[in-house]
Amino acid sequence: MSAAETSARVSAAGLRAQERAAKKAERERQRRIERDEAAERRRAAKAGFANVNNPRRSMLMTVLCAVFAVYCLFPFVYLLINATKTQADFTSTFGLGFGKSFALWDNIVTVFTYQEGIFGRWLINTLLYVVVGAGGATLLAIMGGYALAKFRFPGRKAVFAVIIGSISVPGIALAVPQFLLFAKLGLTNTPWAMIIPSLISPFGLYLMWIFSEQAVPTELLEAARVDGASEWRTFWTISMPLLAPGIVTTALFTIVATWNNYFLPLIMLKDSNWYPLTIGLNQWKDQASTAGGQAIQNLVITGSLITIIPLVIAFLMLQKYWQSGLAAGAVKE
């Protein structure tokens, strides 16, 4: 017993010595690497090859990309400028120049009061569809993606195949029978016709699946189960916080899809009181081309501006989240 103890102590001392030697070697290796790197940087600077971590910026490339950025941004500028014009100025002055009067505030007021303030109604409808439809879609995608990533349940492969297949089914193949079915159930012309189809987001499910696979360690789930937590509790208290960046990304994409949806409300809703903004704006635009209709392009433009502002702000504010969320989605090899 004591002999074994001694030998253990000796070997422990030996181990410590070995450890010290290893640490010393490691420090020396680090120093060597640093020297090499410094030499490499000097060589690279002389040879003119840019270091990947600190590249030399290229003016030519910046200018080329700036051309493309102008292409991407100028419609926003056009919208902003023309939202400040009266109808008369819109048809008579240069598109990218300001009009004779600055009518932005008047336009905004008119947008919200025209036709007894129906624009406000459309805005509230859109918010309702986004909160319930896109919110629900996000929740279903989180749960479904989590299940696909963390459980090996019967039928998992079939779910995968069906979803892949469904992505390539054209919207119209669904829209006509969806409309006929919803009509039979008496759901057309109600908010449900807009909300229920919005609840499914195959792209969101895919994103959450990939994200859950990476962000939630299986060991953590096992630990929670050993401690006696139910599957639901594990999901809400352990997995949800880890999934946050993926959730923000999925939510943003489902919100955009619902906010911008044109086809679904076009077929499902006939009552203008249930219109979302997109259909309402299109109706206002068409007023100019109907016989005897008053052209209200200034209101269409100002209304468009009001429609896109919330989404643009959301994307700008949440940049950090959706970019890291998407990057994680792309990691999968």
Q: C-beta of 20: minimal distance to other proteins in Å?
A: 26
CA distance 201 to 23: 53
Q: Which residues on adjacent β-strands are paired with residue 51?
A: 54
Question: Which one, 21 or 161, has the nearer CB to other proteins?
Answer: 161
Q: C-beta of 170: minimal distance to other proteins in Å?
A: 5
**Number of Cα atoms under 13 Å in the Cβ half of residue 323:** 6
Question: Which one, 21 or 96, has the nearer CB to other proteins?
Answer: 96
3-class DSSP state of 152 = coil
Q: C-beta of 49: minimal distance to other proteins in Å?
A: 6
Question: Which one, 3 or 60, has the nearer CB to other proteins?
Answer: 60
Q: C-beta of 206: minimal distance to other proteins in Å?
A: 7
3-class DSSP state of 101 = coil
CB 195 within 8 A of CB 136: yes
Question: Which one, 116 or 333, has the nearer CB to other proteins?
Answer: 333
Give just the sign of the alpha carbon dihedral 128, 132, 133, 139.
positive
**CA distances from residue 83 to 77, 90, 119 in whole angstroms, order as listed:** 10, 9, 16
Give just the sign of the alpha carbon dihedral 285, 102, 70, 320.
negative
Q: C-beta of 235: minimal distance to other proteins in Å?
A: 7
CB 273 within 8 A of CB 292: no
CB 291 within 8 A of CB 265: no
Question: Which one, 46 or 56, has the nearer CB to other proteins?
Answer: 56
Q: C-beta of 24: minimal distance to other proteins in Å?
A: 25
Question: Which one, 1 or 330, has the nearer CB to other proteins?
Answer: 330
Q: Which of 309, 298, 284 is nearest to 76 (CA)?
A: 309
Question: Which one, 128 or 163, has the nearer CB to other proteins?
Answer: 163
- Single-letter residue type at 72: C
- Kindly state the helix (H) or strand (E) to which residue 120 belongs, with its residue range: helix 104-128
CA distance 212 to 151: 11
Question: Which one, 35 or 332, has the nearer CB to other proteins?
Answer: 332
Q: Which of 207, 211, 185, 206 is nearest to 197 (CA)?
A: 185
Q: C-beta of 105: minimal distance to other proteins in Å?
A: 21
Tokens 């008579």 identify what position?
A: 92
Q: C-beta of 333: minimal distance to other proteins in Å?
A: 8
